[in-house]
Each structure stands twice: as structure tokens, then as C-alpha cells.
Copies of this chain bind each other. A is one copy, B any other.
Amino acid sequence: MAILKGACIIGQSGGPTAVINASAYGAIRAALDSDVITKVYGAAHGIKGVLDDVLYIMDEEDADELALLRNTPSSELGSCRYKMKDPDVDDTDYKRILEIFKKYDVRYFFYNGGNDSMDTCNKISKYMQKVGYECRVMGIPKTIDNDLFGTDHCPGFASAAKYIATSCMEVSKDATVYDNAQITVVEIMGRHAGWLAASAALASHFGAGPDLIYLPEVDFSMEQFIADVEKIYATKNKVLIAVSEGIHYADGRFVSEAEVSATDGFGHAQLGGLAVKLADVLKKQTGAKVRGIELSLLQRCGSHLASKTDVDEAEMAGRVAVEAATAGETDKMVAFERVMENGQYTCKPVLLPLSSVANYEKKVPLEWINEEHNNVLEAFIDYALPLIQGEPERATEFSLPRYARLKKVVAK
């Protein structure tokens, strides 16, 4: 493959994670170190930064500050949720991107995100091929939801899983401290895939976690839910329940959005999330003290509890994307293959065609969910436990996190 000299753009997209900046660091560092990449730009707010011509010059950043990206949560370059149109219908954005690529002599484009971002990445790659502009395009995976197709797991998932498991252990300790009856419902992210809610089972595995876990992979029944809770409530007067925000009835309605008029007695629109709603239903059913806890944004940006395995793999994904592209690859996403040898986990990066991953969703296998549909089986623990291992070094300042402080010099 011919050597391709030129600038690169790195963009972050979709919901932030605890380690997406580690991927950015892996890519930026490798690009800065590359002989063929002439300039390294970070796009402000993903593809919107390209469209708006707001590119940060990464070559201007201090190396030590860049390294702090490894433990800075959220997307330091800014993110977006921008859905690209089909270029055959409207190619305005694509023409603009091409214009910017030409303006800065961009020959490498690295995009870090989830399903929608891989779709963006794929469309840009195909468009550049169609118009004959030589540019190598690589996707870097990211999503706490862990629902990207073709990869064993996604950077960001494990750190969120570790946050969720640790928090569930702590809540489990707290919620059982009095001798009176108490029911606690913990709401966990995951609209369509239950990987994160399932991670609460890691807490139970170590003796302090939820009694029941409900995932969106199977239909939810309020009657069965109440029966499940009452069964446990009858034997011990404490019940801890983890629910995925995406649980839905058999007819497809999200429980979080459906009115629960039969049980709540009034049936008007309610503020507050699913946890509060379910806690309220259980309070009326049992009379117990109930509490709904929503892990909210905390679960996806909890970099203080990041998995070292996750941070290292995220960084590797960024680095591999750059190294593969400069070696001639294009139109691919970096994916992870799990290698188990003598019980030891290692993660091998592989490259998948972008078109094979965009727009597919990977869910928790049904055979990992128990027969009663209210917990996950050992297979899930075997899958998730290796991913959450290790504590990364964290920079602190007066015992609080010290995040990267970038200059963000905008290219003219």
C-alpha cells in the first residue's frame, strides 16, 4: 500500500463514557508520533466540528496534559448526536466535509462512537471513495451500552459495569441496615440492550447485590414483577431490584413511558424515572419503605472507578486505528476478539468492515438470562468479570480528580 501523507481528524460522538478520552489519547498520541501524519486535528463536537470548521490543533497541546485524557471522563473534544442524511438524497453535508478535508489536507479520519457514529463513519468513507478523494476512514468503537455488533465488547462498557456493580454493592449494604422492611429499585441505563443492568449481577456474585434483575431483552410483566418481589419479600424483608431503563411490555411500550393506572390509582403523567415509578407500585402493593435510585449520568462518567482493562483497551483501540490506517487500511472499525488461554483473558484487536457493524445491535444472549426472566446466569459473570479488572493510575489534585486541561487552539 502506498504511503499517504496528510493531516488527520479525530472526532468523538454519541454519549460520553469514562474511557472515550483514552481512545482519543491512543489515536492522538499515535498520530502525533506518526511519520506520515502531518497535522493532528480534534473535531469540536464530532462531525459538527468538521461541518462548522472548528478544529483543535492537537500538535499544540502539552504532552502531559494529553496523557491525562486517559482518566478524564466524558468527551473532551465535545460530542454530538448528528444523524447524517443519505448522500443519495442530500449530499450537502458530504460536500462540506470534503471541502474541509481539502482545506486542511485531511487524509485520515478517525471517528469514535457507537452505532450511529459507525453509520456516519461508513457513509463518509463510502462518499469519499465515490468522489475519488483519497482518505482513510477508521471507526473506533465506544459505548457503555455494549451493543456494537461484531466486537466481543465495547470500550466504555466495562468501566460503567464496574461503577454499577460497586454502587450496587454499596447500596445493598446501605439499604439493609435497618431491621424494618425496605425495597429498593435501582434504575440502570440501556434502552435496548441489557448489558449494563446485567452488570449488577457482578455485585450479587460477590454477595452484596440485587435479588432481581430485569432486562429489555425479554418482555416485562408488571404482575410477574410484583409476584417476584413479593416472593422474596415474604422470606426476607429486604429486596434490592435492578432494572434496565429499557424494560418494556409485550406490546413494546416502555414501562417508563406507559401509565400504570391499574396500580398507581390515578394514571396521570408522572415526573421522575422508572425507578421511582416501580418503587411507587411496590409501595402500594407491600406497604414497605421503598426507594428508587437512578444511577443517571454517574454510571457513564464514573472515571474514578474505571477498569484498567477498559482504559488500556480503549487506548489500544485508538492507537490501532491510527496504525492500521497509516499502514494502508481504510473503511474499517477496530473490534475486540476475546482470547482465553489457560483461564487468562487477553484482548486481540481485529478490523471489521464498517458496513458490517453500522446499524446492527448486539443484545444479551437469551441463554444467559434465567428461566424466570428476572436474573442473569453464570455465563454473564464469566463474560463480564475479566473486563472490569484493574485500577488505572489516576491523577489527583488535593484528592480530587485532576482532568486534562487542553488549550484547544482552533485551526484558522
What is the CA–CA distance of A159 and B81 in the complex, to the nearest angstrom? 36
Q: Mark A28-45, 1 if CB is under 8 A from B, else 0.
A: 000000000000000011
What is the CA–CA distance of A174 and B175 in the complex, to the nearest angstrom? 28
Is A212 an interface residue, CB under 8 A from the partner?
no
Residues of B near A397 (CB, < 8 A) are 206
List the B residue with the shortest CB-CB distance to A401.
B169
* Residue among B48, B173, B176 making CB contact with A403, cutoff 8 Å: B173
Residues of B near A178 (CB, < 8 A) are 45, 78-81
* Residue among B175, B301, B391 making CB contact with A297, cutoff 8 Å: B175
Residues of B near A179 (CB, < 8 A) are 44-45, 48, 78, 80
Is the CB–CB distance between B72 and A173 below 8 Å? yes
Residues of B near A113 (CB, < 8 A) are none
List the B residue with the shortest CB-CB distance to A279.
B271
Is A203 an interface residue, CB under 8 A from the partner?
yes
A292-315 CB contacts (< 8 Å) to partner B? 293-298, 300-305, 307
Q: Knowing A79-B178, A81-B178, say if A401 contacts B272 (CB, 8 Å).
A: no
What is the CA–CA distance of A293 and B302 in the complex, to the nearest angstrom? 14
- State the Cβ distance, A238 to closest chain B Cβ, in Å: 11
Is A270 an interface residue, CB under 8 A from the partner?
yes
What is the CA–CA distance of A266 and B162 in the complex, to the nearest angstrom? 40
Which of A149-157, A349-357, A382-390 faces chain B? Answer: A382-390
Is A86 an interface residue, CB under 8 A from the partner?
no
What is the CA–CA distance of A206 and B402 in the complex, to the nearest angstrom? 8
What is the CA–CA distance of A357 and B316 in the complex, to the nearest angstrom? 56
Is A243 an interface residue, CB under 8 A from the partner?
no
List the B residue with the shortest CB-CB distance to A20.
B177
Is A73 an interface residue, CB under 8 A from the partner?
yes
Is A57 an interface residue, CB under 8 A from the partner?
no
Is the CB–CB distance between B166 and A301 below 8 Å? no
Can you list 18 A-B pairs with a CB-CB distance of less than 8 A? A44-B179, A45-B179, A73-B174, A74-B176, A74-B177, A78-B177, A80-B179, A81-B178, A166-B401, A171-B297, A206-B398, A270-B270, A270-B271, A273-B276, A293-B296, A295-B298, A388-B399, A391-B396
Ranked nearest first, the 10 interchain pairs of A and B with the lowest CB-CB distance are: A272-B272, A74-B173, A174-B301, A170-B301, A79-B177, A174-B297, A293-B296, A271-B272, A74-B174, A45-B179
Q: A residues near B, CB below 8 A?
A: 16, 44-45, 48, 72-75, 78-81, 162, 165-167, 169-171, 173-179, 184, 202-203, 206-208, 266, 268, 270-273, 276-277, 280, 291, 293-298, 300-305, 307, 385, 388-391, 396-403, 405
